[in-house]
Amino acid sequence: MNGWRDFKKGDWCEKVDVKNFIELNYTKYDGDEKFLEKATARTSKVMEKVNYYLKEEQKRGGVFDIATDRVSSLLTHENGYVDRSLDLVLGLQTDVPLRRAVNPFGGLRLCISSCEQYGYHLDPLVIESFKFRTTHNDGVFMVYNDEIRLARKTGLITGLPDGYGRGRIIGDYRRIPLYGMDYLIEQKQNDRRELQKQPYDEENIRLIEELYKQLLFMNDLVTMADRYGFDIRKPAQNSKEAIQFLYFGYLGAIKEQNGAAMSIGRISTFLDIYIERDLKEGFITEVEAQEWMDDFIIKLRLVRHLRSREYNELFAGDPTWVTMSEAGILENKEHLVTKNSYRVLQTLYNLGSSSEPNITILWSQYLPENYKKFCAKVSIETNSIQYENDDLMRDTFGSDYSIACCVSAMKTGKQMQFFGARCNMPKVLLMALNGGRDEMMNLQVGPKMDVYPNEKLDFEKVMERFKIYRDYTSKLYVNAINSIHYMHDKHAYERLQMSLHDTNVERLVAFGLAGLSVVADSFSAIKYANVYPVYDDRGLITDFTVEGTFPYFGNDDDRVDSIACDIVKDFYENLCQYKTYRNSKTTLSILTITSNVVYGKKTGATPDGRKKGEFFAPGANPMHNRDLSGALASLNSVAKIPYEYAMDGISNTFSIVPDTLGKNLNNQIENLVDILDGYFAQKAHHLNVNVIRREKLIDAMENPEKYPNLTVRISGYAVNFNKLSKNHQLEIIERTFHEKF
């Protein structure tokens, strides 16, 4: 049987062009969710087993098991199954569900300590096998200079992927079912032969070497699939093979690499093409289609990576960022929603809610109403999806981009990202005021200047100092990131993932900014109120007195919102002045994930009134308790941040109690759709809608840093939840639940 039977032909037949294949062959779906099927008995049985493993994992302190006796790669683990008699989609990272693989290529020391953290010991044979090997971590520390080391030590820059896989690379796994490995291998061999005809300059030699490595692992992938009983040399014949082959590609990637973000791409609409054909041919039923998607998603939920304690502090909750990019629209405004876009969301009901895979809806005003409403319903009932503005991203990235990690777009199979963590901008400000001295550790981190004199802080003077130290930081930040990616390419190159990219990829280097609202509010205080420095006995400024009021970021007030925008623009332009590794294009994100807490701990008191050690707001969120005009004013402020200077993404979290969204579920759904439409109409980029149920509200009371901009309201009542006494927070929790779910 011909794998391409009944497919509409096009450019995709002559060369690798998945986008073209999709455009010509997908079936738009404008209907509602009533066709969806519940979990089958088989799926429920498998989930029972999965839940057992998950519970055990929790009981054992967060890690179920570690395969300490071998190095992770495509062929180094025995086959693994959840339940051999029940599994539909086959393949696990190791031989046992949730048993984590060991990947020392990022860094051996960290690998050893990661094992020991959980009471395991890395096999001496593994350690021995790395004796003569330079890991990525080794390489980076061979070249880091003192400035970079100090910046890391003091938390000026944190989360650098210098001891763990950089991630942020999304292989175009769809190519495998569409073309089969034989064809893809042949293309790469042709590319290599062409390059070998060109002059052997450094870049060419490197690329030829990379292609060699890619080909090695492409062949390993074929062998890996053979071991599971599948021949992936030829195109997939049907949807079951399509899902399986695509998953094998992703599985190979996560066996080879342990990047922070190992995202899976934009796959649902692609897979739907095969499912639709099978439904027409009578090869499967809707029940089976859902069952296969359920089983596929189960596999994605089982993804695990071994992490160090420092990593877990930065990125709490054991995230894997298996980000699935859904929906979106074509350049001609036709939407890309298919029945499979619905099936993916249905897995949240069939398997229970889960933050992984990280389902990300590419929202457009042109999406069908039914789909918008279903997404809102799923948000309210499962709290498991996030939203990004396709109308904004499509201009730059076209209609076949994927999101890596949380907010970072790139053209699938054509672009890759060099992940660069983030810079602590409030610390840059404090460093500027303290003449280059770190306020917490009392170390000279930046060029020496006098500490700011004992007088009211003057906006222009402070801004001038700030620019000097920001420039100093930008320079060392670019150096650090260049070092990291040079070494990662050299010592831990992503062979399989890159084999599923075009040979000539465009590289984007992704810098980050943490603490935006703290700096914006600090400059606002300096400009509109009177801020005086307070010195400690070391002569450093470690606190501030503020007289008068000033506008806070998050109230839709241009006076301070424009400061925030300028900070982003200026930092981006500053970074652009420095040469990046491999001519990568400079991009910037305003994203912290949970590292906002760690950053805050390492930073002294700031002019905005934030206390020493107090957590930053996450991403681009306004600081907590400063949104005095409600959640939409907060959204309006964040929407102003210019995406053109922050194309690696602008992260915003919006926490809400469902009953505060509306009187009943229908109202809640409609209102959430209106909120999303309204927010994205203002060219905002991202919204993580965090829907909180009663149980979590207690947690919200105790840990407000986890629930930014929480909105809890009662009809007619003017209130700011965070300003209430604990008792009244408890009562309002009781009062806001009108309906039982």
Partner 1 sequence: MKNSKIGNISSFESLGTLDGAGVRFIVFMQGCNKRCLYCHNPETQEDKPHNLIQSEDLVQKILRYKTYFKERGGVTFSGGEPLLQADFLVEVCKRLKAENIKITLDTSGYSLNDSVKRVLQLSDSILLDIKGLSEEESQQKCRSSYREFQETIQYLEEIQKETIIRCVIIPNQNDHEAYLDSMIEILSKYSCIKEIELLGFNTLAQDKYAKMNLAYPMEGTKSLEIKRLNELQKYCDQMFNE
Q: Minimal distance in Å, beta carbon 629 to partner 1?
A: 5
> Phi then psi for 419, rounded to 5 degrees?
-65, 135
Binding mask 591-620 for partner 1 (x = CB under 8 A): ------------------------------
Residue environment code for 311-348, b if the CB has 16+ CB neighbours within 10 A, otherwise e: bbebbeeebbbbbbbbbbbbeeeebbbbbbbbbbbbbb
Per CB under 8 A, the list member of 449, 546, 665, 724 interacting with partner 1 is: 724
* Tokens describing residue 452: 């700011």
* Tokens describing residue 455: 């007088």
Per CB under 8 A, the list member of 352, 398, 630, 704 interacting with partner 1 is: 630
Which residue's CB is nearer to partner 1, number 528 or number 535?
Answer: 528
Q: Given the residues 111, 115, 375, 406, select the one marked as catalytic.
A: 406
Q: Minimal distance in Å, beta carbon 389 to partner 1?
A: 13
Contacting range for partner 1; rule: CB under 8 A; set: 64-72, 101-109, 140-148, 624-632: 624-632
The reply to whether 115 belongs to the active site is no
Residue type (1 letter), 154: T
Determine whether 629 is exposed, middle or buried from the number of CB atoms within 10 Å of its CB (0-12, 13-18, 19+): middle
Contacting range for partner 1; rule: CB under 8 A; set: 3-11, 56-64, 232-240, 633-641: 633-641
Q: Minimal distance in Å, beta carbon 190 to partner 1?
A: 50
Which residue's CB is nearer to partner 1, number 407 or number 710?
Answer: 710
Q: Which long-range contacts (CB under 8 A, 24 or more apart) does 279-284 make?
A: 283/238, 283/239, 284/238, 284/239, 284/240
Which residue's CB is nearer to partner 1, number 246 or number 620?
Answer: 620
Spatial contact of 265 and 318, defined as CB atoms under 8 Å apart: no
For residue 730, state whether it binds partner 1 (rule: CB under 8 A).
Answer: no
Q: Minimal distance in Å, beta carbon 632 to partner 1?
A: 4
Q: What angle do CA 245, 12, 190 make, to 5 degrees?
A: 80
Q: Quick one: which of 276, 282, 220 has its CA closest to 248?
A: 220
Rounded to the nearest 10°, the torsion over CA 84, 86, 87, 92 is -40
Q: What is the DSSP secondary structure assignment for residue 421, as one 8-state letter?
A: -
Size of the residue set binding partner 1 (CB under 8 A): 41
Q: What is the DSSP secondary structure assignment for residue 550, as one 8-state letter?
A: -
Q: Minimal distance in Å, beta carbon 681 to partner 1?
A: 4
Q: Minimal distance in Å, beta carbon 637 to partner 1?
A: 10
Per CB under 8 A, the list member of 203, 530, 719, 741 interacting with partner 1 is: 719
Contacting range for partner 1; rule: CB under 8 A; set: 249-257, 466-474, 502-510, 706-714: 706-714
For residue 734, state whether it binds partner 1 (rule: CB under 8 A).
Answer: yes
* Tokens describing residue 670: 């409609």
For residue 376, state whether it binds partner 1 (rule: CB under 8 A).
Answer: no
Calculate the alpha carbon distances from 653 to 398, 514, 522, 619, 719 in Å: 25, 14, 21, 8, 20
Which residue's CB is nearer to partner 1, number 392 or number 732?
Answer: 732
* Tokens describing residue 67: 């395969």
For residue 713, state whether it binds partner 1 (rule: CB under 8 A).
Answer: yes
Which residue's CB is nearer to partner 1, number 468 or number 633?
Answer: 633
For residue 735, state whether it binds partner 1 (rule: CB under 8 A).
Answer: yes
DSSP annotation string for 10-58: SGGGTS--HHHHHHHH-----S-GGG-----HHHHHHHHHHHHHHHHHH
Alpha-carbon distance of 720 to 629, in angstroms, equals 9
Which residue's CB is nearer to partner 1, number 537 or number 695?
Answer: 695
For residue 7, state whether it binds partner 1 (rule: CB under 8 A).
Answer: no
For residue 633, state whether it binds partner 1 (rule: CB under 8 A).
Answer: yes
> Phi then psi for 653, rounded to 5 degrees?
-110, 140
The reply to whether 423 belongs to the active site is no
For residue 712, state whether it binds partner 1 (rule: CB under 8 A).
Answer: no
Alpha-carbon distance of 187 to 563, in angstroms, equals 50
Q: Work out whether the CA dihedral 697, 699, 704, 706 comes out positive or negative.
A: negative
Which residue's CB is nearer to partner 1, number 352 or number 678?
Answer: 678
Q: Minimal distance in Å, beta carbon 328 to partner 1?
A: 20
Q: Which helix (H) or strand (E) holds 143?
A: helix 136-143
Q: Minimal distance in Å, beta carbon 319 to partner 1?
A: 28
- Count of all residues that appear for the chain in the document: 741
Which residue's CB is nearer to partner 1, number 301 or number 372?
Answer: 372
Write down the H helix ranges in 324-417. 339-350, 369-382, 390-397
Per CB under 8 A, the list member of 2, 34, 332, 717 interacting with partner 1 is: 717
Q: Considering only the C-alpha atoms of the chain, give the largest distance between any 2 of them, rounded to a whole number of Å.
A: 82
648-687 residues near partner 1, rule: CB under 8 A: 660-663, 667-668, 670-671, 674-675, 677-679, 681-682
Which residue's CB is nearer to partner 1, number 38 or number 728?
Answer: 728
Which residue's CB is nearer to partner 1, number 229 or number 716?
Answer: 716
Q: Minimal distance in Å, beta carbon 163 to partner 1?
A: 42
For residue 312, state whether it binds partner 1 (rule: CB under 8 A).
Answer: no
Contacting range for partner 1; rule: CB under 8 A; set: 26-34, 216-224, 538-546, 717-725: 717-725
Q: Given the residues 111, 115, 375, 405, select the one marked as catalytic.
A: 405
For residue 556, state whether it binds partner 1 (rule: CB under 8 A).
Answer: yes
Q: Minimal distance in Å, beta carbon 631 to partner 1?
A: 4
Determine whether 723 is exposed, middle or buried from the number of CB atoms within 10 Å of its CB (0-12, 13-18, 19+): exposed
Calculate the alpha carbon distances from 584 to 179, 205, 529, 578, 596 in Å: 29, 18, 42, 11, 27
For residue 728, state whether it binds partner 1 (rule: CB under 8 A).
Answer: yes
Q: Minimal distance in Å, beta carbon 68 to partner 1?
A: 50
Contacting range for partner 1; rule: CB under 8 A; set: 75-83, 150-158, 391-399, 625-633: 625-633
Give the 3-state secondary structure of residue 135: coil
Q: What is the 3-state secondary structure (H, E, C) of 187-215?
A: HHHHHHHHHHCCCCCHHHHHHHHHHHHHH
For residue 548, state whether it binds partner 1 (rule: CB under 8 A).
Answer: no
The answer to whether the bond into 177 is cis (omega within 30° of 0) is no
Give the number of other CB atoms < 10 A from CB of residue 42: 16
For residue 629, state whether it binds partner 1 (rule: CB under 8 A).
Answer: yes
Which residue's CB is nearer to partner 1, number 491 or number 713?
Answer: 713
Which residue's CB is nearer to partner 1, number 576 or number 628?
Answer: 628
Q: Quick one: which of 612, 487, 625, 634 has its CA closest to 555?
A: 634
For residue 202, state whether it binds partner 1 (rule: CB under 8 A).
Answer: no
Q: Minimal distance in Å, beta carbon 700 to partner 1?
A: 16
* Tokens describing residue 222: 């074929």
For residue 632, state whether it binds partner 1 (rule: CB under 8 A).
Answer: yes
Which spans of this chain sit near partner 1 (rule: CB under 8 A)? 556, 628-634, 636, 660-663, 667-668, 670-671, 674-675, 677-679, 681-682, 711, 713-719, 724-725, 728, 731-732, 734-735, 737-738
Active site residues: 405-406
